[in-house]
Structure 1
Amino acid sequence: MGNIVSYIQENQRTFAESPFNPVDSLVFSTLCYFNYEACGLVDPSSPERVLLHDVLALADWRTLTCASWLEDAKDTRAFLHVLMASRRFRGVELAFYANERSDAVEKQFSATTFVVPGRVAAQAEGAPYEGRACGMRAGRDEFACLAFRGTDGSFAGWKEDFNLCFKEVIPSQRAAAAYLSGVASAVEGPLVACGHSKGGNLAEFAALVVDEGAYARLAGVYNHDGPSFLDDPSPRIHDGRFATLLHKTVPESSAFGMILERRPDYRVVQSSALSVFQHEPFSWQVDGDDFVYQDALNRAAVFFDEALDAWLRGKTPAERERFIDTIYELFASTEASTWAEFQEGLFANTRRLLGSGTKLDAETKSFIWKTLGSLGGILKDETVRRFRPSPSTWLARRREAYDRKGRRQ
């Protein structure tokens, strides 16, 4: 077993020789975290294609990966090295790079289209490209993989994630739908949508609401540990074709990807990391051309998911909005705009954060503590329910202890 780094290193078959698979979708979902505008080769306003290999060869890697989880991940440099040497990814081109952020409307959106030479296996029954490779240019067999970026390190990005708990649609979801529609109108051939974290939610949302023409060309939708939806974005979510298109994967201790998830059609991937650190794609276990799966989430993940879901369902959208907005305003009062900046001045920012909290009016402070208290109460009840033995189990344990005591005497 390995991860996506060892997968790239060992799988030297081209996409023409071995079609696109779920592990490839996680690779592209990771590649879309790169700051392509920083290398000077990618113009966000231009549809011109640039070889991924050229970007990796000419860009400063520190600049390329800054302000994302890749900046500190221990496998990042190995990931870049194997990509540089990869026969499979050597011919991949990127285009239609978009990177938008707005604190005013609480929006953080980025997406990259990867033009892949080769084949994508049609995933949906009756898909128009089933059984044949399709060209986006005359004489070329290729498809477009649209990768949506997950949350960056900005407060605006995290705030938009939290807004999913009370808003039916957030700005980056609208941008994702427009992006998919726009790319579909600019290229021909099959399409794949993918993303990690919030990017997985964006890929799924865009596929659900895009026009019928673009939807008919989709050959796969990959949501890697991204949250679900407060309400169903469209009736397509219940269609058999969409169920066949969608591949949702979560690590065994997933927390983020299970938020608002009500459907059972996800697969659980084994991870080499612990707890919340399993969210990092480099920790996901790979065997051959697919992930290493297990039957269910870990008990702790199921416990947290059920407790959080009960808390969310127990609060009105207005209560959730008020709580999230208040907490966000407290962090914003520190004058840091990213989590990295907050950590750089951790002591001073924490003191300022607590100081701002004490200046809140009594009603707001009471509301915050009651909200946190209700979550704590649910966690406590879930702990008791899940780990306290049933009366029959307790009686059996008592009898066993009594028997052991009698034997010792």
Structure 2
Amino acid sequence: MPYLFEYVERELATFDQKPFGPVDAAVLSQACMIDGARVVPEPPTRPALLDRVLARLAPDARGVTFAELARTEFFDGMFTGLVPGDIQRLLLLLAASPRYRNLRIHGYQAVFDEAVPTQFAAMTFSWKRAFSFVGFRGTDISATGWRENFDMAYEDEVPSQRLAREYLERMMPRLSGAVHVGGHSKGGNLALYAALTCHEDVRERIELVWCLDAPGFRAGRFGTEAYAHLGWHADAGGAGAGDAAAAGAGVQGACKIERFVPQDSIVGMLLECPVQPRVVRSSAQGAMQHSLFSWEIAEDRDDFVTVEHLGEGSRALHDILMEWLASMDPERCAKVVDALFAALGASGARDARDVFLGGKPFPQLVSDAMRNLDEGSRAVLGAALGELAAITARRVGRDLAAAVFGG
């Protein structure tokens, strides 16, 4: 059974011979984890009309290729995320791939701000004048990046979401042909947010939005009318956390949103998105299914292997978290997040690798670290975790709640 690495290595057809598809969206979403600073050109400041003229006159002069990225003097420091070695391997395969090696990579933008938690990066991949993929990076390993993710639970718009919309509106007039927008994890959230909130003229040019195991938005942030602007309608598919028996029902026809999650999705079940996902079979277990490198690709077509239903655990996780968040107003939620990150700091965790790959369940790590918090923060976080544990016990059983939260 092929996976992303094997697909990139074996696929010989160019985009002239075989159109852009779901696996390509996954490949380029992972390529967004490459740090293109000092190598990939930044978004241009000259008039968009001039950019289009220059692209028509010299399409191969715009941006750089994967081979040029692989040869840069900055190579050793270009790889981000929880699995930088996999991103490095992917770049080397892309540089040699007949399908991907002639893509032009341009418009690199990255913003990182610890003071106002912001972790954002985007770049655009163009094939001649036929199409472009506007890709947004997922979360890096920094506490800043993860703090911004948690802020999505109670804020209407976090800085990266605003930057994503501005980036899409800036790049769109400079692109020719079909325009795909997408990303993995946080990157998929940014892609969909940008598509939902951008100017109407920009939205109309979007071919498809690719959301790969991406979290949704806080409850009530977008109504059905917002999704209808991207061709989704309530009768086309159920809630994203529900039964995916009609896999893809919400992304067929005129709908511009393609949503994928693995069968035991965790990240893709966070917050709300009404678009029914296609459920992908993964070779990994539990949280590691979030990795696109574990998603199985069909032997006979350029698409992922899908299954009929989401796992029971994924559906339960969504329901538990949404009930928990619904019990808190934005002010209290912000205090809980502040206390949570104070606890993570007190735990000695240096970055997300220590938190998620350290061997201890996340709630237990936080519970153990709470003893080092001040009394006020400990009370806020303790009460919230107690409520979460109670909801978990009621919905899925006390034994599982005790295993996750300790006690």
CA distances 1:49-70 after superposition (whole Å, capped 9, x unpaired): 11222212345654221x4123
AA aligned to 1:302 is: R
> Does the aligned pair in 1 maintain the 2:23–2:302 contact within 8 Å?
yes
Distance in structure 1 (CA, Å) of the matches to 2:385 and 2:257: 35
Partner of 1:392: none
User: Which of the numbers 42, 47, 54 marks the counterpart of 1:44?
Assistant: 42
Letter aligned with residue 237 of structure 1:
Y
Change over 3 Å in CA distance of 1:366–1:303 after alignment to 2? same
> TM-score, length-normalised on structure 1?
0.79
Aligned to 2:28: 28
RMSD value, Cα = 3.0
Q: How does 1:301-380 map to 2 (within 5 A)?
A: 301-332=314-345, 338-339=351-352, 357-361=371-375, 363-380=376-393
Structure 2 residue 161 is matched with structure 1 residue 173: yes
Pairwise mapping of residues 274-285 of structure 1 onto structure 2 (< 5 A)?
274-285=285-296
Aligned counterparts, 1:197-236, within 5 A: 197-230=185-218, 231-233=220-222, 235-236=225-226
Once the 2 structures are TM-superposed, how far is the Cα of residue 6 of structure 1 from its aligned partner? 1.3
Q: 1:245 to 1:345 in 2, by over 3 A?
A: closer
What is the count of residue pairs matched by the alignment?
355
Instruction: Please say if residues 205 and 233 of structure 1, whose CA atoms lie closer than 8 Å, have aligned partners that are also in contact.
Output: no
Unaligned runs of 5+ in 1: 118-134, 136-141, 388-409
Whether 1:189 and 2:177 are equivalent positions in the alignment is yes
2:77 corresponds to: 63
Distance 1:316 1:286 in 2: 42
- Residue 80 of structure 1 and its aligned partner are, at CA, apart by 3.2
Change (3 A) 1:383 1:194: same
Cα pair distance change 1:20/1:97, threshold 3 Å: same
Matched residue, 2:120: 109
Summarize deviations over 1:140-185 as a string: whole Å, max 9, x none. Answer: xx22110000100111100000011111111100000000000012
The 8 Å contact of residues 227 and 256 in structure 1, kept in 2 or not, is answered as: yes
Cα deviation for residue 72 of structure 1 reads 4.5
Aligned residue type for 1:170: V
Q: Does 1:80 align with 2:91?
A: yes
Task: Summarize the Cα distance change of 1:342–1:209 in structure 2 as closer, same or farther, 3 Å threshold.
Answer: closer
Taking the aligned partners of 1:69 and 1:343, their CA distance within structure 2 comes to 9
Instruction: Write the distance in 2 (CA, Å) between the matches of 1:5 and 1:159.
Output: 31
Stretch of structure 1 that moved more, 6-15 or 44-53: 44-53
Question: In the TM superposition, what whole-angstrom CA distance separates every residue of 1:32-89 from its partner, at most 9, and x where no partner exists?
Answer: 000112xx43343658511222212345654221x4123244xx45423422221111
Deviation, 1:365, is 2.1
In structure 2, the CA distance between the partners of 1:148 and 1:262, relative to structure 1 (3 Å rule), is: closer
2:93 matches 1:93 = no
| Distance in 2 (alpha carbons) for counterparts of 1:262 and 1:345 | 30
**CA deviation profile, 1:235-256 (whole Å, cap 9, x unmatched):** 3313462551100101111111
Q: What is the CA–CA distance in structure 2 between the aligned matches of 1:216 and 1:264, rounded to whole Å?
A: 19
1-structure distance, mates of 2:261, 2:369:
38
Structure 1 residue 14 corresponds to structure 2 residue 14: yes
* TM-superposition CA deviations, 1:323-377 (whole Å, max 9, x none): 111111333467876335889999xxx99x978844512x432222121111111
Inter-CA distance 83–68: structure 2 relative to 1 (3 Å threshold): same
> Which residue identity is paired with 1:41?
V
Percent of aligned pairs sharing the same letter: 28
Match for 2:262 among 244, 251, 254? Answer: 251
Q: C-alpha displacement at 1:379, in angstroms?
A: 1.2
> C-alpha deviations, 1:187-206, integer Å up to 9, x for none?
33321101000000000010
Distance 1:171 1:21 in 2: 30
Question: Do the aligned residues in 2 keep the contact of 1:5 with 1:82 (CA within 8 Å)?
Answer: yes
Give the counterpart letter for 1:360 in structure 2. Answer: D
Whole-Å separation in 2 of the counterparts to 1:331 and 1:289: 41
Counterpart in the other structure of 1:126? none
- The one-letter amino acid of 1:177's match is R
Aligned AA (1:100) = V
Q: Residue deviations 1:249-297, cap 9 Å, x none? A: 0111111111113525211111010000011110011113000111111
**SS of 2:13's equivalent?**
coil
- Where does structure 2 lack aligned partners over 5 or more consecutive residues? 46-61, 233-250, 401-407
Would you say the 8 A contact 2:26–2:292 is kept in 1?
yes
Q: Distance in 1 between matches of 2:386 and 2:329?
A: 16
SS of the residue 1:174 aligns to:
helix
Structure label with greater radius of gyration: 1
**1:303: how far off?**
2.0
Question: Is the contact between residue 168 and residue 194 of structure 2 (CA under 8 Å) also seen in structure 1?
Answer: yes
Which residue of the partner structure matches residue 241 of structure 1? 231
- Where does residue 290 of structure 1 map in the other structure? 303
Contact 2:43 2:106 in 1 (8 A): no
Distance 1:178 1:77, change over 3 A: closer
